[in-house]
Structure 1
């Protein structure tokens, strides 16, 4: 009997609603470990989950029997509930609508892993908006500004 063989690597990016810095340093790494377990429990391979106070990067081996949109919806919902249950974020915590999904070949896995691992240092040099725009352009993804994340410089003070 024939089997299905696959190798699908996806980087997911999503942001905290209002780009508020609610993913606090004191619990962030524990939270990212929990998110990694959630990805595994949803039937995918978690390669790395990391980010900064206002957004997260998840690098996964995608199960071809499942959809990216279903994974993101369930991951956002579960992680939102987890943060609230642990009181690690205020009661109004939520993720912004939407996400970025970028595919990579096997030869890029280590480079993407290192990139995600070093998010704090990376964001000392480049803003999230610039990072996200760079990825959209690099992957030649057409977009409309009004449908992008709410970036810090777009939020009224």
Structure 2
């Protein structure tokens, strides 16, 4: 029997960072659906939250999972559902890219708290400011394709 626990903090944004998810009620409905859909596909989505133009997910990968597969399943189905349900007036789309980083067990509580407090966090920092801080902190560079 295999036992795998690989924690990933994944962040993805709406296409062109359009603030489609502009009310707490809409975000709650979308995040609830994403969590239920992930569960139905055998994806362990521990925590999910975000703000008007992006989503944070704390995922535990299973032995058959890859980050790209999980991102595709979560993003693809949710954008289809959002459009089918007419939750936004313009066509809803996620950005193709995403950000993902592995976590140790010792960082889970801190990461869960960070994800659960997105509303408060983004009254102080924009999504762009947040990304720039991560880019500088970890020495990452934007990749132009």
TM-score for the superposition, normalised by structure 1: 0.84
What is the CA–CA distance in structure 2 between the aligned matches of 1:80 and 1:100, rounded to whole Å?
A: 18
1:53 aligns with 2:52: yes
Q: Which runs of 5+ in 1 are unaligned?
A: 148-157
Q: Which residue of 2 aligns with 1:153?
A: none
Which ranges of 4 or more aligned residues in structure 1 deviate by more than 4 Å? none
CA contact (8 A) 2:2 2:63 kept: no
| 1:139 positional shift | 4.0
CA contact (8 A) 1:10 1:103 kept: yes
| 1:73 positional shift | 1.2
TM-score for the superposition, normalised by structure 2: 0.90
What is the CA–CA distance in structure 2 between the aligned matches of 1:47 and 1:103, rounded to whole Å?
A: 14
Q: Which residue of 2 aligns with 1:4?
A: 2
What is the CA–CA distance in structure 2 between the aligned matches of 1:136 and 1:62, rounded to whole Å?
A: 24
CA 62–127 in structure 1, closer or farther in 2 if over 3 Å, else same: same
CA contact (8 A) 1:102 1:139 kept: no
Q: Which residue of 2 aligns with 1:95?
A: 94
CA 145–78 in structure 1, closer or farther in 2 if over 3 Å, else same: same
Instruction: Say what the alpha-carbon RMSD is for the aligned residues.
Output: 1.6
| 1:90 positional shift | 2.2
Superposed CA deviations along residues 77-118 of structure 1, whole A, max 9, x for unmatched, are 100011111111124210111000011111111110010000
CA contact (8 A) 2:14 2:95 kept: yes
What is the CA–CA distance in structure 2 between the aligned matches of 1:111 and 1:64, rounded to whole Å?
A: 25
1:116 aligns with 2:115: yes
Deviates more, 1:41-50 or 1:117-126: 41-50
Q: Which runs of 5+ in 2 are unaligned?
A: none
CA 24–71 in structure 1, closer or farther in 2 if over 3 Å, else same: same
Aligned residue pair count: 144
CA contact (8 A) 1:7 1:106 kept: no
